[in-house]
């Protein structure tokens, strides 16, 4: 499956309260930007990942998020915690923390 227009709309609407949201298809997924800063991605299966390292990555792990894995090893992206998948306000709260940690 590839990134569809409805997936792009989902990402843009989910994070719209943060500021100017833009997206760009790349490497089979979708990069998500707020005011020109990449802070999240969406894979072709619809999984939302937040860019994270250090204390913020630890917070995501404590909330049950999983780190993005590649054949070469883990990358600096973590899934949006499950509780935020059905709660746009909570998703934006996590996204604000991702942006603040960058």
Determine the pLDDT at residue 28: 87
The per-residue pLDDT for 72 is 92
Separation of alpha carbons 7 and 11, rounded Å:
6
The neighbour count for residue 41, using CB atoms within 10 Å, is 22
Question: pTM, whole model, 2 decimals?
Answer: 0.91
Q: Where are the domains of the chain?
A: 5-101
Q: Which CATH class is domain 5-101?
A: alpha beta
Give me the average pLDDT of each 10-residue run along the chain (102 residues): 91 94 93 96 94 96 94 93 89 96 92
């Amino acid at each position: 499956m590839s990134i569809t227009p409805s997936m792009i709309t989902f990402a843009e609407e989910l994070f719209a309260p943060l500021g100017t949201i833009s997206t760009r298809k790349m490497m089979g997924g979708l990069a998500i930007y707020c005011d020109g800063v990449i802070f999240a991605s969406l894979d072709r299966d619809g999984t939302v990942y937040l860019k994270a390292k250090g204390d913020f990555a630890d917070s995501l792990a404590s909330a049950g998020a999983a780190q993005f894995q590649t054949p070469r090893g883990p990358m600096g992206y973590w899934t949006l915690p499950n509780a935020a998948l059905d709660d746009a306000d909570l998703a934006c709260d996590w996204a604000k923390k991702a942006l603040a940690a960058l």
